[in-house]
Amino acid sequence: MRVVIVTESFPPDVNGVAHCALQTARHLAARGHQPLVIAPATGEGSDAPCPVIRVPSLPLPGYPEVRLALPSRRVAAAIAAHRADLVHLASPFVLGVRGMAAAARLNVPAVAVYQTDLAGYARTYVGTGEGTAWRRLRAVHSAADRTLAPSTSALRDLEEHGVRRVRLWPRGVDTDRFRPERRDAALRRQLAPHGELLVGYVGRLAPEKQVELLADVCALDGVRVVVTGDGPSAPALRAALPGAVFLGRRTGDELARIHASLDVFAHTGPYETFCQTVQEAMASGVPVIAPAAGGPLDLVGHGRTGLLVPPGDAGAVHDAVLKLADPALRAAYGHAGRAAVRSRTWAAVGDLLLDHYAEVLGARAVVAA
């Protein structure tokens, strides 16, 4: 099968869209298919398992880590030249809209993957524009043969906003990389020299992530907050979280070592359509605190693998950390979390994606017949 992946982000970018697009390309190549990636241009390369066509792009004002693709004829030309059987649109909004238009002109089936709560981001960054974002999302996803949502919450949001032909497709996790055995005593001594309880956040440092909700946790005796990641909110968060350790951006085995060395993982953002870092923490055997909204509702078993708290409630996060000060409870939640995600490998999730592709192609064949 010849598949063109049109993605709004791709490595070396570090975010959920880029990582999922890379894993999709790897799985397609591993299963003997022929993927091609179209992504915004960056200043660096990537370790993609297939050709990558870079479209000229500009940094998003105020958030240069995010790049927006410029109008380009390369998208349609690349889809045609690759003789694509199917177009995969990863979190379509700018480049993906052009990919959808090109697929329609060329009569190529398209699968759109919903991954980013852009309406929520518009509300956070602009204070308005939520309706405009949904109109754009509805237009591109309604044009696709199938939309794949990463969680039941995301699927429900799409259907409530008029998007049809929506199916569930979760995300995978590297359970070999993220595992409890990565726990590092030397790193723990470095981060918690007096044996403090390590409460960690991993992810982008941006306003929608609401990492400042950990401020009350920083004030707890015997607790050390560890923040891993980078982004435009980093300077403000350093001031808002006194005593916290900021490790910056980490990836690969080093990130896995940090995850496994935590005592508690705390995610604070309420706009996650899935929340990959929660799943990585669970694979690492670490109990999770997350808002009872979006993707974490599917991932976190409240009172079994972690604790769900009301979104935006700093006091509830504080109280959840106090509850998880109990080592026996942490051990039980961590063990249950690892067991819950053990089968969610990228290979298993990739095969589910291929099933969706096959159904879409089969439906097109019936219509053509």
pLDDT higher than 60, residue 177: yes
Residue 126, pLDDT > 90, answer: no
Classify burial at 34, counting beta carbons within 10 Å of its beta carbon; exposed 0-12, middle 13-18, buried 19 or more. Answer: middle
* Spatial separation of the C-alpha atoms in residues 36 and 14, rounded to whole Å: 20
Whole-number pLDDT of residue 133: 83
CB atoms within 10 A of CB 121: 17
Q: Is the overall model pTM greater than 0.75, yes or no?
A: yes
pLDDT score at 121: 61
pLDDT value, residue 123: 58
Token digits for 272? 């996650």
Question: Phi/psi at 167 (nearest 5 deg)?
Answer: -130, 165
Measured CA to CA, the distance from residue 93 to residue 177 in angstroms comes to 31
* Distance between CA atoms of residues 287 and 265, nearest Å: 6
Q: What is the pLDDT of residues 264-283, one digit of tens each?
A: 999 999 999 999 999 999 99
Nearest to 171 by CA among 294, 301, 85: 294
Of the candidates 341, 255, 268, 252, the residue with the CA atom closest to the CA atom of residue 11: 252
pLDDT by residue (tens digit) across 310-366?
A: 999 999 999 999 999 999 999 999 999 999 999 999 999 999 999 999 999 999 988
By C-alpha distance, which of 131, 288, 265 is closest to 202? 265
Q: Encode pLDDT of 46-83 as tens digits.
A: 689 999 999 998 887 666 667 778 878 899 999 999 99
62: left (phi over 0), alpha (psi -120 to 50) or beta: left
